[in-house]
Amino acid sequence: GRKEATPHEFPYMVSLQWMDNPNTKHFCGGSLLNERWVLTAGHCVNAFSKNTEVVAGAHSLKKPDEFEQRRKPKRTFVHEEYNGEVGPHDLALVEVTEPFEFNKYVTSVNLPKEPHYPTGHATISGWGSMSNGMFPKYPDRLMKAELPVLDSFKCFNDYPGTPMHETNVCAGEPNGSKAVCSGDSGSPLVQKDSNGQVVVYGVTSWTWLPCGSPGKTGVFVNVSHYLKWFQDQMNSL
């Protein structure tokens, strides 16, 4: 259900990596809001180790090219209403020590202008697991998929007994053929606006295991509900 992305097709895409893990360094995705700030999921920041690096301009994780830029996190802000588990407000911002240098391969994505529940299809990109089984199988290269967005009523009512909230968005093929999986957390769900600008509407939060279970789509945080929170954190000294 996923295709390999063209290298640097998603120049706002970030890989969060544990540098002290010899096997799989990538553990979460993120997106660049500007030269200093990365948007990701709260549970991703809670998983930071002291050797976490923020990597922009990446395509192949095994064979980095010259467009890759690496930074260390300087400050992190996890949304104060996020309770640290599967639940709403699973959002975080990471400020890097040195600004990224923007170019054709590394640049930012746009935040929405106002609260909005997206409709139609949206694009996900990530280095998340390709396996529908319980054991993840991670791709080396950045992958992408077009996911249908479930309407909000279905999103909030299809999953009784789950911590679904009106600040979430659901997206994925209902038959399970295209879905988010482990390693996709924090990755952006985007659409183009009428001017062709890429806007991030969702941050990958959680999904059912095994990934791609029929009738169970991925759950994203709807970033358009948090615009003031982003401003407040990014303007804090």
What would the two tokens of residue 66 be?
Answer: 């010259």
* Nearest-angstrom CA–CA distance, 60 and 63: 5
Q: Return all residues near 51 (Cβ < 8 A) that are at least 6 apart.
A: 18, 19, 20
Q: What is the pTM of this model?
A: 0.94
- Classify domain 121-224 at the CATH topology level: Thrombin, subunit H (2.40.10)
pLDDT at 94: 98
Distance between CA atoms of residues 4 and 85, nearest Å: 30
Domains 11-108+227-235 and 121-224 share a fold: yes
**Window from 104-113, 132-141, 178-187 with minimum mean pLDDT:** 132-141
Catalytically active residues, by annotation:
43, 90, 185
Selected from 3.30.470.10, 2.40.10.10, 1.20.810.10, 3.40.50.720, the CATH number assigned to the domain covering 11-108+227-235 reads 2.40.10.10
Count how many Cα atoms sit within 13 Å of the Cα of residue 56 in the half-sphere of its side chain: 28
Reported as a single tens digit per residue, the pLDDT across 16-27 is 999 876 666 899
Hey, where are the domains in the chain?
Answer: 11-108+227-235, 121-224
Q: Residues 68-121: pLDDT tens digits?
A: 999 999 999 999 999 988 889 999 999 999 999 999 999 999 999 999 999 999
Strand order in the sheet with 3-4: 3-4, 143-148, 121-126, 188-192, 198-206, 218-222, 168-171
Q: Rounded to an integer, what distance in angstroms lies between the CA atom of residue 26 and that of residue 56?
A: 12
| Closest to 138 measured CA to CA, from 64, 207, 211, 32 | 211
